[in-house]
Amino acid sequence: MPLVFAEPPISLSTAHSLAVFFAGTYVGSLYFSKNARLSFKQGGIKLKQGQQRTKEQDERWRDDPDVIRARLTAASLSTLSSCTAVVLLVWKLLRWAPKSVTDNVDQEFPIALETTLARLGFDLPSSWLELVLPCLVTPVLFLGPLYASWLSSSLPFQRHWSLKCSVLPLFTTWQGVRNYVVGPITEEIVFRSCSLATYHLAGASRAKMIFLSPWLFGLAHVHHAWDIYNRYGRTGSAARRAVIATLFQTSYTSLFGFHTAFLFMRTGSLIPPVIAHIFCNIMGLPQYSAQVAMFPHRRKVIRMAYLLGIAGYIVTMNRWTSSPRSLYWRSAHDVAMF
């Protein structure tokens, strides 16, 4: 059980500043080194509607292997620095706490480290049910898309699925490592673990932590607009496309942030949010219209699967995520601790 405080030891404005710092250093690290920065040819290029231009030889695009490698290194170091900042914060708060908390000065930092790891969700659940059930909530929500995947025989061990083509590219290419390994892990640590840990220390309400903190996660994707604008020709049309795409991405990443913030707070563990992040990156956004067009004779069943997924999510999001170990979701009968 992590060391707790009887009253919020930091102010809400301090928590806001730290959350902005975590998000800013994470995004900023992607542009800190020359190897991580993108470069594009200057000047506008007229293209057909929706057409992406061809990459020039001397350009550096987001999916270039050397750019991905540099950015993965930068993001990992930024994540480590954010975790270190939380450890130092808790250590400082511990040193300011009454001496009855710990009488041994030599034990202050080990206690701060241990309690910070617990606050960041690095503790393992006490049972396999506490580990597995929260990880199944997101697949329940995706019942409709999963059913459509089953119709197309692309689920694991179906006809159009194979270990070589369906799994290995996720973990043996630089894009796969970014999208399905390092990206989800580092983003959940920074935007969920570190941010929510500081907001909890500030005594923020559950509603604020779930519905306000994820907006930083959404806004952290705004920088992709520059990439879209350049890839689609640096014209007025490309600018409009970049704005629309960025607004859409900011919206759905914020919605996703609400979901993973809830999972993290309910379970007190980082594992369910990371698994949900990886799963959603693999599945992509639901394509209801395209799936109905592909299987028109199953239109009603697909619609029913989508509705059942939403209903199942509403039911399971509370029942499958409860954990008595979570510091972030105390019952009304418990004394508030921070």
Supply the range of the domain harboring residue 195.
Answer: 12-319
Q: Stretch 329-338: mean pLDDT, rounded?
A: 64
Asked whether the predicted pLDDT for residue 333 surpasses 60, the reply is: no
Is position 94 within any domain? yes
Is position 170 within any domain? yes
Q: What percent of the chain has pLDDT over 90?
A: 69
Tell me what the pLDDT averaged over the chain comes to.
90
pLDDT number for residue 7:
84
Is position 338 within any domain? no
pLDDT, tens only, 41-93: 887 777 777 788 888 888 899 999 999 999 999 999 999 999 999 999 999 88
Is position 180 within any domain? yes
Q: Stretch 212-226: mean pLDDT, rounded?
A: 91
pLDDT number for residue 158:
93
Q: Are 276 and 259 in contact (CB under 8 A)?
A: yes
Question: Which tokens go with 130?
Answer: 């506490």
Which residues carry out catalysis? 187, 221
Alpha helices of the chain — where are they, by DSSP H?
12-29, 65-96, 108-119, 128-141, 143-151, 168-172, 174-177, 183-188, 195-201, 206-211, 214-219, 224-231, 236-267, 271-283, 288-294, 299-319
pLDDT number for residue 104:
60
Q: What percent of the chain has pLDDT over 70?
A: 94
pLDDT band at 100 (very low <50, low <70, confident <90, very high): very low
Torsion of CA 172, 176, 182, 185, to 10 degrees: -120
Taking alpha carbons only, the member of 169, 171, 177 closest to residue 75 is 177
Whole-model pTM: value is 0.93
Higher pLDDT, 75 or 1: 75
pLDDT, tens only, 118-176: 999 998 887 888 889 999 999 999 999 999 999 999 999 999 999 888 899 888 999 99
Is position 325 within any domain? no
Number of domains in the chain: 1
Is position 332 within any domain? no
Is position 324 within any domain? no
Whole-number Å distance between alpha carbons of 314 and 17: 33
Q: Are 326 and 266 in contact (CB under 8 A)?
A: yes
Whole-number Å distance between alpha carbons of 48 and 236: 13
Is position 29 within any domain? yes
Among 100-104, 269-273, 281-285, 301-305, the minimum mean pLDDT is found in: 100-104
